[in-house]
Chain A
């Protein structure tokens, strides 16, 4: 009756919507048959059928949270969709894609993860700001521009990194030839003589896959939750431990260009 005339936009109904696949580059359709999906708050745009959305803190879902949620402190950003029907997910008109994990692991920037099946378990990565998914199942991630898959060994720009699968954690890489020495120090501090903005990269080695987005515009960070305040946990601010008393590490962060940096630059 209200069919689109030739050349018009495709009209979707529950029969023609894809099952667990993209409707277009920016919208993803999930089919629920009495099953559950985790999704980030506020990413559902429409649904057919009867679907309930409950905060992860909902008492009835405690068991589920225990089995597939291991970041209790940021559970309030996540919602469980439960019921039957088809549900559309989207995130600020960013590209969305689904990925299948088969008994694997994948670490992803927290702001990019949109939704995942409860058969996967979500954990905080020890790299601050990243989350790790472990197990078998499907998840949906958003990215600014299409995602590119690369294989290590590889160095990537920090802003383009979306995540990585099956390979050891990345490390920082600096172009030392360009950064060291008196002139290098001056360049890095003042930008005089031209800083290319690419002196710092993340380096990946080993076997696996690295996911990159095709812009360097970051998506908004999602809090990953605080980590336990104990020695040896990166990002906990608990210092090196064992030394007793706050050392230089737990003090206020030093500004670049303070004397300490110069001292180290000259090896003092």
Chain B
């Protein structure tokens, strides 16, 4: 559960994720994720939909989503890439948008696009089990199972690795046929659980 203390400022949160509050709060649905007409159209086109509400007021507000773990991410001008289904709340000052992920998104079973969060402030992301934060640096690239990936931030290049060989089709595959490789400088968030992906069984 995430507790947010507010003194007249605002946060953006997933629609319906408020479980309790004290003090004075106003909840306003933001159409199109608060990204304006352009954002609305992009989200509709990309299928990366998210319904967001703006919470504003004085007091404490508690957010939760299906008893999943909540991880706080501090952003200092860098960009966080996260699936819209894993994004619970952000400071109102953070800009959200969509970006193209290519093949990686397809193997995660989450579509070809992902949500970006940019600016200065905090964002809360959800995961199945507490997320492990792994650092990527030039000398230590990281490889991640697409089903366990939830988010990454920083200046990171990702590439898609496929280990599909004829053995995969014989039912003798390594079980880890699709992987995402991260190189550069930044952090990657993985959850101790795997979503069901098309790559899960090969």
| Contacting pair A93 B174 (CB below 8 A) | no
| Contacting pair B133 A46 (CB below 8 A) | no
Q: Determine the interface band of chain B, counting residues with CB < 8 A from chain A.
A: 35 or more
Contact of B132 among A12, A43, A79 (CB under 8 A): A12
| Contacting pair A13 B176 (CB below 8 A) | no
Which A residues touch B188, using CB under 8 A? Answer: 46
Which B residues touch A58, using CB under 8 A? Answer: 167, 172
| A2-B153 contact, Cβ under 8 Å, with A9-B72, A76-B172, A93-B128 | yes
| A55-B175 contact, Cβ under 8 Å, with A2-B154, A9-B71 | yes
| A8-B74 contact, Cβ under 8 Å, with A2-B135, A2-B186, A46-B134 | yes
Q: How many angstroms between the C-alpha atoms of A8 and B70 in the bound complex?
A: 12
Tell me the smallest distance from the CB of A152 to a CB of chain B, in Å: 32
Q: How many angstroms between the C-alpha atoms of A256 and B91 in the bound complex?
A: 60
Which A residues touch B167, using CB under 8 A? Answer: 55, 57-58
Q: How many angstroms between the C-alpha atoms of A88 and B188 in the bound complex?
A: 13
Q: How many angstroms between the C-alpha atoms of A21 and B2 in the bound complex?
A: 29
Contact of A42 among B141, B170, B186, B200 (CB under 8 A): B200
Q: Determine the interface band of chain A, counting residues with CB < 8 A from chain B.
A: 35 or more
Which A residues touch B132, using CB under 8 A? Answer: 12, 23-24, 27, 45-46, 88
Contact of B131 among A2, A9, A13 (CB under 8 A): A9
Tell me the smallest distance from the CB of A92 to a CB of chain B, in Å: 5
Tell me the smallest distance from the CB of A76 to a CB of chain B, in Å: 6
| Contacting pair A92 B142 (CB below 8 A) | no
Which A residues touch B135, using CB under 8 A? Answer: 2, 11-13
Tell me the smallest distance from the CB of A183 to a CB of chain B, in Å: 42
**A142: nearest residue on chain B (CB-CB)?**
B192
Tell me the smallest distance from the CB of B177 to a CB of chain A, in Å: 9
Contact of B144 among A4, A46, A54, A96 (CB under 8 A): A46
| Contacting pair A2 B171 (CB below 8 A) | no
Q: How many angstroms between the C-alpha atoms of A42 and B174 in the bound complex?
A: 8
Tell me the smallest distance from the CB of A189 to a CB of chain B, in Å: 37
The yes or no answer to B190 lying at the interface (CB within 8 A) is yes
The yes or no answer to A10 lying at the interface (CB within 8 A) is yes
Which B residues touch A27, using CB under 8 A? Answer: 129, 132, 192
The yes or no answer to B140 lying at the interface (CB within 8 A) is yes
**B170: nearest residue on chain A (CB-CB)?**
A57
The yes or no answer to B193 lying at the interface (CB within 8 A) is yes
Tell me the smallest distance from the CB of B168 to a CB of chain A, in Å: 8
| Contacting pair B194 A42 (CB below 8 A) | yes
Hey, which bits of chain B sit against chain A, CB under 8 A?
Answer: 71-72, 74, 78, 128-135, 137, 140-145, 147-148, 153-154, 163, 167, 170-176, 185-188, 190-194, 200-201
Hey, which bits of chain A sit against chain B, CB under 8 A?
Answer: 1-2, 4-5, 8-14, 23-27, 40-48, 51-58, 76, 79, 88, 90-93, 96
A-B contact pairs, 17 of them (CB 8 A): A4-B133, A5-B74, A9-B71, A11-B187, A12-B132, A13-B134, A23-B132, A40-B175, A45-B194, A46-B142, A46-B190, A47-B142, A53-B174, A55-B172, A58-B167, A88-B134, A91-B193
Q: With contacts A41-B175, A93-B129 known, what are 4 further pairs, Cβ within 8 A?
A: A51-B143, A76-B171, A79-B174, A90-B192
